């Protein structure tokens, strides 16, 4: 008994010594930095998105007095770890540090280079971080759990509620606008393109109160403040009926000749999809997992070879009388096998998943390839939000990073606008947003759309762009095509 008690005391003392530099959070940190204290404030400083190989930095009370704001403090810390000026520092719970008052002795902080976004460190698989600063409807902290380090995949608990899940589904079913209503899902970033290996149905919620609240929550969790509408697509709501699926793909958009009107190279000056937050809006009787084909199975799940998975799939489909829905050799059958042998996350209503399509430096992470497993029994409702590392295609370019343009005002979220496009002439002119054809502009046949401030709409004649309109900040706007606007022969 005495030996057990002694061992417990030794372990407790060792833990007490270690928590001051616990790199996974701010455990044990009690003494605020910046006070008149006899010892310097020691911090563990890590690269953005990393949790190993940190550097120890000491801040004296004089340092904290001289560093009057977050920018000055960041400059001081970055200089001491030899990171280029202009970086920002974030706490272990994803909050940008604004001064010494935000820090305690032993805190872990993360250095985010200029023009880059904060990235959650993956830690070891199974590690959990409680995030208290992001407001949720149920007032519970969001819990971020590492499922995979490469690619970076996290499970999110308490991120959305059952009610929010139901509201998104109900709203998707009520949308009548042709551009946003529930229909066969499309792929890519230019127009409506159907892929034979994406058989779900999708709708876009660009303005409901629930969607806006969730989008802002996503940005808060990702450390992007203030909320920036141009950094995200609308929330895409998806319905997967039995047998429907989405073949493994990346959310990062590959540059092609067809979409070369945008700089997609996110490692340079361009922008692309940075992070995806996937929301599960319903329970699914069987199937419908999200599979990451380049990741190890979730810790605790059996490691199954492809050969064993093929045999198990055949037996299961035969026993459930589902073989006729998933014949041998089809891509859907092959996906069922893959979903049984790689990391597959089973959908649970009101749960969410976060994963990154880029590395902290902006380079694409090709291990982030993932797919939607076929639904075997039941119906799956889900939604996703793609967050970009800067203004997405269709928005004017501006400097990336927290706080907007250097030395300027914080960016304002673009206003939602009801736009009406009219024409006085019938000349075969078509209205486009990006590469999506919204129809022919004719007299007495206006085209009404919901759009956003900053969106650029173009006019094409014989497939050639001859003019464009940019949406302003007024909540309702009318654009008129006249004879004088047409190209002259």
What is the CATH classification number for the domain harbouring 108? 3.10.20.90
CA distances from 289 to 201, 235, 306, 374, 424 (A): 16, 19, 17, 8, 52
Three-state DSSP state, 484: helix
Identify each DSSP E strand in 151-271 by its residue range. 153-157, 183-184, 201-205, 235-240, 246-249
Helix axes 306-319, 331-341, angle to 10 degrees: 120
For residues 485 and 422, the answer to whether their CB atoms sit within 8 Å is no
Q: How confident is the model at residue 432 (pLDDT cuts 50, 70, 90)?
A: confident
pLDDT for the residue numbered 465: 82
Q: Which of 50-59, 232-241, 373-382, 408-417 has the lowest mean pLDDT?
A: 408-417
Q: How confident is the model at residue 414 (pLDDT cuts 50, 70, 90)?
A: low
Both tokens assigned to 220: 């808060």
Same domain, 211 and 154: yes
Higher pLDDT, 60 or 196: 60
Same domain, 244 and 352: yes
| 409 inside domain | no
Range of the domain at 481: 416-485
Would you say residue 406 has pLDDT above 50? no
Q: Which residues pair with 433 in a beta bridge?
A: 436, 457
CA distances from 387 to 257, 402, 469 (A): 23, 14, 26
| 317 inside domain | yes
Q: Which residue, 119, 125, 120, 121, is CA-closest to 146?
A: 125
For residues 65 and 36, the answer to whether their CB atoms sit within 8 Å is no
Q: Which residues pair with 469 in a beta bridge?
A: 457
For residues 32 and 104, the answer to whether their CB atoms sit within 8 Å is yes
C-alpha triplet 28, 29, 31: angle, nearest 5°: 135
Cα gap 392→374, rounded to integer Å: 30
| 358 inside domain | yes
pLDDT for the residue numbered 109: 94
Same domain, 382 and 425: no
The model's pLDDT over 24-73, given as tens digits with 9 standing for 90+, comes to: 444 444 677 866 555 688 999 999 999 988 999 998 888 888 888 888 99
For residues 87 and 81, the answer to whether their CB atoms sit within 8 Å is no
The model's pLDDT over 303-335, given as tens digits with 9 standing for 90+, comes to: 788 899 999 999 999 999 999 999 999 999 999
Q: Which residue, 238, 340, 245, is CA-closest to 288?
A: 245
Residue whose structure tokens are 């092609």: 256
**Across all residues in the chain, what is the average pLDDT?**
84
Buried residues in 360-390 as b, exposed as e (16+ CB within 10 A) = bebebbebbbbbbbbbbeeebbbbbbbbbbb
Same domain, 214 and 303: yes
Would you say residue 368 has pLDDT above 80? yes
Q: How confident is the model at residue 453 (pLDDT cuts 50, 70, 90)?
A: confident
Both tokens assigned to 261: 């009107």
Q: What is the mean pLDDT of the segment spanning 461-487? A: 87
Helices and strands (H and E) in the chain: how many: 7, 26
Same domain, 174 and 290: yes
pLDDT for the residue numbered 184: 64
Same domain, 308 and 196: yes
| 408 inside domain | no
pLDDT for the residue numbered 25: 43
Q: Which of 80-94, 141-155, 426-440 has the lowest mean pLDDT?
A: 426-440
Q: How confident is the model at residue 15 (pLDDT cuts 50, 70, 90)?
A: very low
Would you say residue 436 has pLDDT above 60? yes
Most confident of 22-31, 342-351, 411-420: 342-351
Would you say residue 388 has pLDDT above 60? yes
Q: How confident is the model at residue 130 (pLDDT cuts 50, 70, 90)?
A: very high
Q: Which residue, 180, 152, 175, 155, is CA-closest to 364?
A: 152
Same domain, 423 and 312: no
Same domain, 50 and 148: no
Omega within 30 of 0 (cis) for the link into 151? yes
Same domain, 366 and 225: yes
Omega within 30 of 0 (cis) for the link into 226? yes
Cα gap 136→213, rounded to integer Å: 9
Q: What is the mean pLDDT of the segment spanning 70-99? A: 91
Domain total of the chain: 3
| 130 inside domain | no
| 275 inside domain | yes
Q: Reduced to 3 DSSP states, what percent helix, strand and coil does the chain have, rounded to the nearest 5?
A: 20, 30, 50
Would you say residue 19 has pLDDT above 60? no
Would you say residue 263 has pLDDT above 60? yes
pLDDT for the residue numbered 186: 52
* Alpha helices for 223-263 (secondary structure H): none
Same domain, 348 and 473: no
Instruction: Name the phi and psi angles at 307, rounded to 5.
Output: -65, -45
| 401 inside domain | no
């Amino acid at each position: 008994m005495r030996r057990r008690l002694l061992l417990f005391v030794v372990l407790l003392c060792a833990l007490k010594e270690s928590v001051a530099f616990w790199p996974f959070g701010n455990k044990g940190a009690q003494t605020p930095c910046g006070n008149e204290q006899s010892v310097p404030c020691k911090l563990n400083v890590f690269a953005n998105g990393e949790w190993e190989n940190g550097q120890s930095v000491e801040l004296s009370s004089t340092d904290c007095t001289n560093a009057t704001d977050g920018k000055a403090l960041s400059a001081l810390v970055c200089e001491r770890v030899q990171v280029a000026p202009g970086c920002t520092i974030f706490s272990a719970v994803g909050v940008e540090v604004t001064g010494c008052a935000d820090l305690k002795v032993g805190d872990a902080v993360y250095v985010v280079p200029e023009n880059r976004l904060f990235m959650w460190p993956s830690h070891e698989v199974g590690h959990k971080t409680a995030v208290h600063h992001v407001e949720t409807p149920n007032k519970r902290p969001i819990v971020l759990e590492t499922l995979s380090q490469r690619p970076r995949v996290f499970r999110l608990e308490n991120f959305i509620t059952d009610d929010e899940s139901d509201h998104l589904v109900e709203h998707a079913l009520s949308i009548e606008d042709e551009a946003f209503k529930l229909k066969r899902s499309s792929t890519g970033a230019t127009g409506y393109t159907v892929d034979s290996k994406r058989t779900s149905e999708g709708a876009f919620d660009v303005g409901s109160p629930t969607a806006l609240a969730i989008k802002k929550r996503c940005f808060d969790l990702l450390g992007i403040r203030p909320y920036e509408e141009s950094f995200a697509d609308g929330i895409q709501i998806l319905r997967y009926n039995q047998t429907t699926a989405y073949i493994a793909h990346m959310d990062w958009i590959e540059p092609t000749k067809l979409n070369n009107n945008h700089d997609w190279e996110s490692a340079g000056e361009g922008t692309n999809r940075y992070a995806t937050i996937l929301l599960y809006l319903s329970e699914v009787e069987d199937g419908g997992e999200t599979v990451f084909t380049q990741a190890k199975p979730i810790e605790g799940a059996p490691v199954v070879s492809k050969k064993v998975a093929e045999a198990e799939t055949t037996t299961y489909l035969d026993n459930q009388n589902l073989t006729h829905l998933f014949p041998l050799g089809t891509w859907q059958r092959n996906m069922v096998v893959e979903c049984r042998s790689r990391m597959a996350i089973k959908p649970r209503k009101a749960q969410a998943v976060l994963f990154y399509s880029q590395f902290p430096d902006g380079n694409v992470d090709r291990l982030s390839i993932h797919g939607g497993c076929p639904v075997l029994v039941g119906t799956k409702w889900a939604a996703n939000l793609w967050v970009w590392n800067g203004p997405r295609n269709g928005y004017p370019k501006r400097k990336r990073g927290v706080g907007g343009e250097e030395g300027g005002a914080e960016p304002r979220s673009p206003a939602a606008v009801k736009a009406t496009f009219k024409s006085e002439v019938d000349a075969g002119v078509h209205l486009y947003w990006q590469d999506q054809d919204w129809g022919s502009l004719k007299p007495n046949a206006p085209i009404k759309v919901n759009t956003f401030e900053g969106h650029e709409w173009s006019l094409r004649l014989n497939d050639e762009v001859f003019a464009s309109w940019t949406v302003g900040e007024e909540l309702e706007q009318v654009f008129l095509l006249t004879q004088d606007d047409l190209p002259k022969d």
